[in-house]
A and B are shown apart, each in its own frame.
Chain A
Amino acid sequence: MSWGSALRKVRGGKTVKVEVRVKGGVIREVVISGDFFAYPPEAIEELERALVGASVEEVASVVRSFKGRVQVVGASLKDFEELLVEAARHAEESAPKGEGP
C-alpha cells in the first residue's frame, strides 16, 4: 500500500496536485488540491469520494461521469483524469514488492 502523487501547472491556468493511495490496484484515498476553481466546489469532494474503491482502470470513467456536474475553471476534468492515472502509477511503482491485494 503506498501513496503516489502527480502535479501539473495547467498552461494559462492553475496548479493541480493529485495524491492517491493505492492498494492492490484499488484506490483507497484521493486528495485533489490546488488553486483552481470549481462550480460547485463540493463536486470535487464528491469526485474524491467516488474514486475511492475504484480500480486504476476505472479512473477515467469515474472522472468522465462528472461531466456536466461540475465546471472546473483554470484546469479541466481531463487534467484531473491524467493526473490521477499518473499518481496511481507512481503509487504502484513505489509499492513494496510482493505486496498482494
Chain B
Amino acid sequence: MRWRLLIDPGDVFWQMAVDEALLKLRRRDRSPSTLRLYIISPSAVTIGYFQKIREAVDLEYAEERGIPVVRRVTGGGSVYHDENGEVTYAVIAKVGELPADVVESYRAICSGLVEALKELGLEAEFVPINDVVVGGKKISGSAQLRRGDAVLQHGTLLYATDLETLARVLKAPKEKLAEKGVRSIYERVTTVSKELGREVSRDEVVEAMVKGFSRALGVELEPGSLTEEEVELARRLEAKYRSREWNFRR
C-alpha cells in the first residue's frame, strides 16, 4: 500500500489547521492516507481539546518568551514543540487501515515511533494509552481523533528538546506528579540526544521516522505535496486556531 509523505515547515496555527483539513478531506475521500512529519516554528505549545488553558500552561511565561499557545482538536495533554528539538508527526488514514480498538490503534501508530527509535539505536516501548518511553522516561506522546471513518493521530518525538523550557511553560497537575512519585522533569521526560549521549540532528530523526512508520504500518511512503483543496481548507481553519474564542474556550 502507498501513502503520501509530507514533510513541511510552518507555524503552529498552520500545522494544526493542515492536520484538521487532512482529516476532514480524508473522510470525504478527497485526501489520500498520509504521514506528515513537521517542525513547528517558532516553538509553540499545544494543549488538549479538554484542557483548561490557564491550568495547562504558564501563559505569562509563554508570552514573555514569545511562545504561541494553541488548543488542538485532539484530546490529551499539553505539549511543548521545540523548533530545535522536536519533530511532530501526523497520521491521517481510514479507520479500516488500523485496528478498530482505540488503544490498539494508538499502539499500531506508535509502533512507527518505536521502530524509528530502534533505527536510532534506542529500545523504546509503547505504554498505553498514548506514550512511548525509553528507560521508563517519556520521549513521545500522541493524540487521536476520529471523524466518521477517518482518523487523525498526531504526536511528538523529542530529540533535543530544551527540557528546562518545557518544565517552565507546561504546568503539570500535582496529582499526576504525586502518583508517579517523582518530582523532576528530568526523571520523567527524556530526549533521543540525552539517551544516546550525543547530539542527534533533525535530519537523522526525520529519516528514522520515515523508515520506522513505513515498516510499522507496512506502507510505502511516497513524497508528495498538499493539494489546492487541502491548502484552501487549511487556510480557512487557520483562523480558528488563531482565535481567542477557540484557544480560551476552557
Q: What is the interface of chain A, defined by CB distance below 8 A to chain B?
A: 7-9, 12-15, 17, 31-41, 44, 71, 73-74
**B144 on the interface (CB 8 Å rule)?**
yes
Contact between B129 and A37, CB atoms less than 8 A apart = yes
**B175 on the interface (CB 8 Å rule)?**
yes
Contacts A/B (CB < 8 Å), 22 sampled = A7-B173, A7-B175, A9-B173, A9-B175, A9-B176, A14-B77, A17-B55, A33-B51, A33-B55, A35-B51, A35-B75, A37-B74, A37-B75, A37-B76, A37-B143, A37-B144, A39-B102, A40-B146, A41-B73, A41-B75, A44-B50, A73-B103
Write out the residue numbers on chain B whose beta carbons fall within 8 Å of the beta carbon of A41.
Answer: 49-50, 73, 75, 145
A16 to chain B, nearest CB (A): 9
Pick the most buried of B74, B143, B175: most chain A CB atoms within 10 A of its CB: B175
Contact between A39 and B52, CB atoms less than 8 A apart = no
Write out the residue numbers on chain A whose beta carbons fall within 8 Å of the beta carbon of B73.
Answer: 41
Cα distance, A71 to B48, chains bound together (Å): 17
- Known contacts A33-B250, A35-B51: does B175 contact A15 (CB below 8 Å)? yes
The listed residue (B75, B130, B143, B175) touching A8 by CB distance below 8 A is: B175
Write out the residue numbers on chain B whose beta carbons fall within 8 Å of the beta carbon of A13.
Answer: 129
Cα distance, A46 to B75, chains bound together (Å): 16
Write out the residue numbers on chain A whose beta carbons fall within 8 Å of the beta carbon of B128.
Answer: 12
Contact between B129 and A73, CB atoms less than 8 A apart = yes
Contact between A15 and B129, CB atoms less than 8 A apart = no
**B179 on the interface (CB 8 Å rule)?**
yes
Pick the most buried of A14, A37, A71: most chain B CB atoms within 10 A of its CB: A37
Contact digits for B172-209, partner A, Cβ 8 Å, 1 yes 0 no: 01011011000000000000000000000000000000
- Known contacts A9-B176, A15-B175, A35-B77: does B102 contact A71 (CB below 8 Å)? yes
B68 to chain A, nearest CB (A): 20
A5 to chain B, nearest CB (A): 11
Q: Which residue of A lies closest to B77 (CB)?
A: A35
Q: What is the interface of chain B, defined by CB distance below 8 A to chain A?
A: 48-52, 55, 73-78, 102-103, 128-130, 143-147, 173, 175-176, 178-179, 250
Cα distance, A37 to B78, chains bound together (Å): 13
Cα distance, A41 to B73, chains bound together (Å): 9
Cα distance, A7 to B50, chains bound together (Å): 14
Cα distance, A61 to B236, chains bound together (Å): 40
The listed residue (B55, B75, B130) touching A38 by CB distance below 8 A is: B75
Cα distance, A17 to B54, chains bound together (Å): 13
Write out the residue numbers on chain B whose beta carbons fall within 8 Å of the beta carbon of A8.
Answer: 175
Write out the residue numbers on chain B whose beta carbons fall within 8 Å of the beta carbon of A17.
Answer: 52, 55
Contact between B179 and A9, CB atoms less than 8 A apart = yes
Contact between B146 and A39, CB atoms less than 8 A apart = yes
A39 to chain B, nearest CB (A): 6
Cα distance, A17 to B51, chains bound together (Å): 9
- Known contacts A9-B173, A73-B102, A73-B103: does B129 contact A38 (CB below 8 Å)? no
Shortest beta-carbon contacts, A-B, top 4: A35-B77, A37-B75, A9-B175, A33-B52
Q: Which residue of A lies closest to B103 (CB)?
A: A73
Write out the residue numbers on chain A whose beta carbons fall within 8 Å of the beta carbon of B77.
Answer: 14, 35
Contact between A35 and B129, CB atoms less than 8 A apart = no
